[in-house]
């Protein structure tokens, strides 16, 4: 249950209590607030308050604290909670810089698009469209021309109930496509949870590993990423087994997902992955119901406290159909754009999408609004 949080509650917190400090109260014209607002990393998003939550057993107590009153609340916290809160604040404010992918520089000061290129026969939305290498490569170049900064190539469907694909078959599906796109100057991400597929894709020219299991499915995956020195996307899924949708029994979904990603970021850093090369993804739709997904979207800014860029992917997700009279996957563009626009307003740096041109237009309009507010 949720209750109001007061300063005395902080002092009475148990040794197992956890603190979460999420940016909130986003502002259009930060120059009018002087020092009473802060910037999320090097994005175009400023905020005027923190949504502070204390999780102690089954109870969550929350309050909104203006930026100007932050120091007083830190002083009221036990040292352990204060150190956690300060680390989260630092994570929000730390500049992310650029994502360097070979000769390509991806600037994360505004949302960038990651195009979805599934070379599978059974993906939930576009399965079978790009199983031919030539067709997949042509589609990939078209996505790049339309505004995709990165192309995410996947050879295994992760839809609910999808069969497991042998790594040899997965490599056959993706290798030629990755190679051709990389030779053509495209920044390629490989969407896989298998170490052997990661190695083959990286050898073919991929620059990022995007793992829906957050490097938990394959025991060698962490080693591959560390050895390659490449950026890695850590996505939340409730299970690291064959079916990533298994489980999903959350007490407080936003905090449960956050805790898992925080643990995986720490594991990667401990293994030798530079934090600047880690990207986090809350995993919309993976073992999550509509209510869970909405809670993650509304609380998305919390993930900035991890100090990593956020990848957000809501493209054609089933939740859109659930909110719109069961619209089929090919009729969910409006909902996709709406959700990605919401993510942009919370500072998400990367948006994973099927429909490049439409989402690119939405982000350009968003950028125009931000520019006008900041300079007007």
Tell me how far apart the alpha carbons of residues 316 and 337 are, in angstroms, rounded to a whole number: 9
Q: Are residues 148 and 182 in the same domain?
A: yes
Burial class of residue 336, CB neighbours in 10 A (0-12, 13-18, 19+)? buried
**Tens-place pLDDT, residues 148-172:** 999 999 999 888 877 889 999 999 9
Q: Residue 11: phi, psi to the nearest 5?
A: -70, -25
Nearest to 211 by CA among 183, 231, 185: 231
Residue 136 in this model has a pLDDT that exceeds 70: yes
Q: Which of 43, 64, 93 is the last residue of a domain?
A: 93
| Contact of 68 with 35, CB cutoff 8 Å | yes
Out of 51-55, 131-135, 229-233, 264-268, least confident range: 131-135
Planar angle of CA 274, 210, 202, nearest 5 degrees: 80
Asked if 317 is an active-site residue, the reply is yes
Burial class of residue 33, CB neighbours in 10 A (0-12, 13-18, 19+)? middle
Residue 66, SS3? Answer: strand
**Tens-place pLDDT, residues 168-209:** 999 999 999 999 999 999 999 999 999 999 999 999 999 999
Give the chain's largest Cα–Cα span.
64
Query: What's the pLDDT score for residue 371?
Result: 94
Q: Are residues 107 and 60 in the same domain?
A: no
Q: Are residues 83 and 123 in the same domain?
A: no
| Contact of 208 with 185, CB cutoff 8 Å | no
Instruction: Report residue 222 as tokens.
Output: 């962490």
Asked if 159 is an active-site residue, the reply is no
Planar angle of CA 152, 155, 158, nearest 5 degrees: 85
Instruction: Tell me what the mean pLDDT of segment 208-234 comes to.
Output: 97
Tell me how far apart the alpha carbons of residues 194 and 217 are, in angstroms, rounded to a whole number: 7
Residue 17 in this model has a pLDDT that exceeds 70: yes
Q: Are residues 89 and 146 in the same domain?
A: no
Q: Which helix (H) or strand (E) holds 49?
A: strand 46-56
What are 201-206's contacts with CB under 8 Å, separation 24+?
Answer: 201/153, 201/171, 201/174, 201/175, 202/228, 202/230, 204/174, 204/175, 204/178, 204/179, 205/178, 205/179, 205/181, 206/153, 206/178, 206/182, 206/230
Mean pLDDT score of the chain: 94
Q: Are residues 214 and 327 in the same domain?
A: yes
Q: Which helix (H) or strand (E) holds 174?
A: helix 167-183
- Please state, as a whole number, how many other Cβ atoms lie within 10 Å of the Cβ of residue 162: 18
Q: Which of 39, 65, 93 is the last residue of a domain?
A: 93
Q: Which of 93, 127, 157 is the last residue of a domain?
A: 93
**Tens-place pLDDT, residues 246-260:** 888 899 999 999 999
Domain that includes residue 192, residue range? 98-375
Instruction: Tell me what the mean pLDDT of segment 270-277 comes to.
Output: 97
What letter would DSSP give residue 155? S
Domain count, the chain: 2
Instruction: Report residue 364 as tokens.
Output: 């350009």
Catalytic residue among 317, 318, 332, 360: 317
Q: Are residues 252 and 167 in the same domain?
A: yes
**Tens-place pLDDT, residues 288-341:** 999 999 999 999 999 999 999 999 999 999 999 999 999 999 999 999 999 999
| Contact of 114 with 154, CB cutoff 8 Å | no
Q: Are residues 133 and 72 in the same domain?
A: no
Tell me how far apart the alpha carbons of residues 281 and 290 are, in angstroms, rounded to a whole number: 17
Q: Are residues 321 and 363 in the same domain?
A: yes
Tell me how far apart the alpha carbons of residues 100 and 276 are, in angstroms, rounded to a whole number: 10
Task: Provide the percentage of residues in the chain whose pLDDT is more than 70.
Answer: 97
User: Residue 269: which CATH number?
Assistant: 3.20.20.20
Q: Residue 310: phi, psi to the nearest 5?
A: -105, 130
What letter would DSSP give residue 119? -
Catalytic residue among 55, 288, 352, 370: 352
In this structure, the dihedral spanned by the alpha carbons of residues 226, 231, 237 and 241, taken in order and rounded to 10 degrees, is -40
Q: Are residues 245 and 159 in the same domain?
A: yes
Sole residue written with tokens 């399965």: 127
What are 89-92's contacts with CB under 8 Å, separation 24+?
Answer: 89/21, 89/305, 90/307, 91/304, 91/305, 91/306, 91/307, 91/308, 92/21, 92/23, 92/38, 92/40, 92/41, 92/304, 92/305, 92/307
Q: Are residues 356 and 340 in the same domain?
A: yes
pLDDT band at 120 (very low <50, low <70, confident <90, very high): confident
pTM of model > 0.85: yes
Tell me how far apart the alpha carbons of residues 207 and 181 are, in angstroms, rounded to a whole number: 11
Q: Are residues 58 and 191 in the same domain?
A: no
Q: Are residues 195 and 73 in the same domain?
A: no
């Amino acid at each position: 249950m949720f209750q109001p949080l007061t300063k005395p509650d902080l002092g009475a917190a148990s040794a197992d209590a956890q603190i979460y400090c999420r940016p909130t109260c986003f502002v259009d014209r930060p120059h009018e607030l002087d020092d009473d607002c802060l910037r999320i990393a090097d994005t175009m998003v400023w905020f005027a308050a923190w949504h502070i939550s204390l999780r102690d057993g089954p109870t969550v107590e929350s309050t909104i604290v203006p930026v100007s009153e932050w120091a007083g609340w830190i002083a009221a916290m036990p040292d352990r909670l204060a150190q956690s809160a300060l680390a989260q604040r630092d994570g929000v404010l730390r500049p992310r810089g650029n994502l360097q992918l070979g000769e390509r520089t991806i600037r994360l000061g505004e949302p960038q698009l990651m195009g979805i290129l599934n070379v599978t026969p059974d993906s939930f939305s576009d399965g079978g469209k790009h199983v031919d290498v030539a067709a997949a490569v042509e589609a990939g170049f078209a996505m790049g021309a339309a505004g995709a900064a990165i192309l995410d190539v996947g050879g295994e469907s992760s839809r609910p109930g999808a069969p497991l694909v042998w790594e040899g078959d997965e490599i056959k599906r993706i290798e030629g496509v990755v190679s051709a796109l990389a030779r053509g100057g495209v920044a390629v991400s490989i969407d896989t949870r298998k170490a052997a597929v990661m190695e083959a894709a990286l050898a073919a020219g991929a620059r990022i590993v995007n793992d829906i299991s957050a490097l938990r499915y394959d025991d060698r995956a962490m080693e591959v990423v560390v050895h390659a020195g490449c950026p890695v996307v850590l996505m939340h899924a409730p299970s690291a087994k064959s079916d990533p949708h298994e489980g999903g029994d959350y007490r407080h979904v936003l905090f449960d997902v956050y805790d898992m990603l925080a643990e995986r970021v720490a594991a990667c850093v401990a293994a030798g992955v530079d934090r600047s090369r880690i990207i986090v993804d809350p995993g919309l739709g993976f073992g999550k119901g509509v209510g869970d997904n909405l809670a993650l979207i509304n609380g998305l800014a919390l993930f900035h406290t991890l100090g990593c860029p956020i990848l957000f992917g809501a493209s054609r997700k089933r939740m859109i159909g659930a909110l719109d009279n069961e619209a089929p996957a090919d009729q969910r563009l409006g909902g996709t754009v709406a959700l990605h626009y919401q993510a942009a307003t919370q500072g998400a740096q990367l948006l994973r999408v099927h429909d490049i041109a439409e989402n690119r237009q939405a982000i350009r309009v968003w950028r125009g609004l931000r520019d006008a507010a900041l300079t007007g």
